[in-house]
Amino acid sequence: MFKSGVYMGDEKEQIMLKIILATIEVIEKEGYDKLTVRSVAKEAGVNVAAINYYFGSKENLVQAMFKQTLEHSFMDVNEILKNESMDLRDMMGLFFDYLIAGSLRYPQLMKAHFYEPFLHDDYNAVMISWLKDMFRELALKISGKYEITEEELIFMMMQIFSLILFPAMLPNLFREGAGMDLLDDNTRKKYIKNILDRFFDDKMKEKASE
């Protein structure tokens, strides 16, 4: 979800990318609250001065990492959204499967993206803006075809996402409490299908052809 396929061109960009990927590794190994410039430097095989030179501060590095990971995710999601031949339910299923699979593979990174909203009620986080854009994009694509308003669709997708976010944040609760391992493709797809079945009721009737 977050790392594969990222490309940056010149030597400076390659070093910056190396540091960003090292930041993700440290977060996954130790947790976001344990992240330090020194631990990133060690993981990346560079000195602390290099990180300060390229990013200026830990805060700038973290924001660059958030931006990089979400830009890559945005490219992947756009590939899903631009498929005009895909059925609506399949499109939404693929979108949410992408989110939950990536979140479960990089659980600490996912928590890092929501750290400020959860702990400090700061909704200026990059992830929040990204989600709003994704929900709006899906709603615009869908609302003209079904008898449901754009606002209702956005609300519906926020409800669905809340059911996706919970197991991503607490995977062991699902694994131990419900015997569901959502890293298993079939289990995860069944979970998402059950969620979508709840929402694709009479409200989602297709508009009559004119």
Which whole number is the average pLDDT over 35-44? Answer: 97
153 near 143, Cβ under 8 Å?
yes
Which of 3-7, 49-53, 94-98 has the highest average model confidence (pLDDT)?
Answer: 49-53
Determine if the pTM surpasses 0.85.
Answer: no
Instruction: Inform me whether the pLDDT recorded for 115 exceeds 50.
Output: yes
Are 40 and 23 a contacting pair, CB within 8 Å?
A: yes
- Whole-number Å distance between alpha carbons of 47 and 128: 32
- Measured N-to-C along each axis, helices 58-81 and 126-143 cross at an angle, to the nearest 10 degrees, of 10
Least confident of 47-51, 160-164, 181-185, 199-203: 199-203
Is the model more confident about 39 or about 12?
A: 39
Separation between Cα atoms, residue 57 and residue 48, nearest integer Å = 10
Q: What integer pLDDT is reported at residue 4 of this predicted model?
A: 40
